[in-house]
Amino acid sequence: MPLFIQTLKLANFRSYARLDADFDGNPVVLVGENGAGKTNLLEAISMLSPGRGLRRAKIADLTRRADNAADVSNLRWAVSAKLGGETSLKIGTGQGEQNPMRRQTRIDGQGASAGELAQHLTINWLTPAQDRLFLGPASERRKFLDRLCLAHFPAHAKHTLVYEKARAERGRLLSDNINDGFWFDALEKDMGLAGAHIAQARVQTLAKLQQQILASDAGAFPKSKLVLAGEMETHIEDGASLSQAGEFLQDILRTARPLDMRAGRSLRGVHKTDMLATHSGKNMPAADCSTGEQKALLIGLMLAHTHAQAHAQAHAQAHTQADWQNGDGVVAPLAPILLLDEVAAHLDEHRRGALIEELLGLKTQVFMSGTDANLFSAFAGRAQMFKVENAKLHLQ
């Protein structure tokens, strides 16, 4: 059986004082009224991956609000899971005991970085806030793409952290008008090396995704054409090696110092890349499509990505580990666990049924939420159904 979350434990997370739930690997459906705790539960699962979860909340904001406000400072939130299927592993994350403003992570009882979680478990999600992904700022599309990259390149989180840390430090030099060439050189070298890895991961992830989209049959969800708009990614696509791409970005940053100094920030780099999508059937930019079409395109992208990762994993299992190194010494993990928050609510009956059949065929664990159990009738006994009420789960 593919990897899945077998047990999930929460403590003082959002509306949950305590939760201890068991899952059997089948799709999980969470049904309940608004405010019952469905999205909070999905958010808790999303914290078992690098980053700030599906709401991008601050560490302190995840702590349960006690009835007595004076007790809040004594609470620490924690999320842990036992993985089943092709592996047996315990992972967990939560507020640090000594420093509650920092997140701690453990894998099989040993301290680990949040980025190391991606070597064992990949989690992707769709939420109502992403319905405007194609209309929103480029930063949202970058974050969406970078999370997809983690399924193929677990070290992508580490490279992103290195790049953003160096960019922030360079930004402080720029805003404070500190003209220290040695310091700039060191930070720009870090940005160049990390940026090259980031750009390469994006290019290769998008290529795998586009290949899967082209190979898939036409179904209920329209196909999209994806293009990366970024000078680093274009350099990689033109055949540049990692070292060449790194030097390319260093040269860009060095030349741009005077202009960046006036702006007080780095105006060029992989943090400016955009992912452009087109509705293939209509040859229309996704941003110009209807709201329903945009949602269908987004769901189609997520399904194609999950299929692509499942195929990559099957390929990996058919070859030796030495043949399947991804450049960072880590073999690609299993297909991502999907968190789908209120995704079925605005789909017609045909597309709801098609989505559920697609999810059942993915061979990966899926968590879905909704206010109406009838939205999930197409599962027909092929999913675990839970009623969520007052932050408690009741198996139906």
Residues 332-386 pLDDT 10s: 445 689 999 999 988 889 999 999 999 999 888 999 999 999 999 999 999 999 9
CA dihedral over 54, 59, 64, 65, signed as positive or negative: negative
SS3 318: coil
Confidence check: pLDDT of 19 > 70: yes
Domain 131-332 matching CATH 1.25.40.10: the answer reads no
SS3 63: strand
Residues 46-57 pLDDT 10s: 999 999 999 999
Confidence check: pLDDT of 17 > 80: yes
- Who wins on pLDDT, 167 or 118? 167
120 and 83 Cβ atoms separated by less than 8 Å:
yes
For residue 274, the model assigns a pLDDT of 98
For residue 324, the model assigns a pLDDT of 38
**Cα atoms in the Cβ-side hemisphere of radius 13 Å centred on 165:** 10
β-pairing, 28-31 with 384-388? Answer: parallel
**Block residue for tokens 């399947």:** 324
User: Structure pTM?
Assistant: 0.89
For residue 329, the model assigns a pLDDT of 44
For residue 66, the model assigns a pLDDT of 66
What whole-number distance in Å separates Cα of residue 146 and Cα of residue 153? 10
Token pair listed for 201: 């991961």
Largest CA distance in the chain: 66
Q: Quick one: fold of 1-122+334-396?
A: Rossmann fold (3.40.50)
What whole-number distance in Å separates Cα of residue 266 and Cα of residue 198? 17
Taking the domains of the chain in order of start, what are their residue ranges? 1-122+334-396, 131-332
Q: Which residues pair with 275 in a beta bridge?
A: 228
**Closest by CA position to 249, among listed 192, 197, 194, 170:** 192
Residues 91-149 pLDDT 10s: 999 998 778 888 999 999 999 988 888 888 889 999 999 999 999 999 999 999 999 99
Confidence check: pLDDT of 320 > 50: no
What whole-number distance in Å separates Cα of residue 166 and Cα of residue 185? 11
SS3 360: helix
- Identify the band that residue 152 occupies on the pLDDT scale cut at 50, 70 and 90: confident
What whole-number distance in Å separates Cα of residue 321 and Cα of residue 301? 28
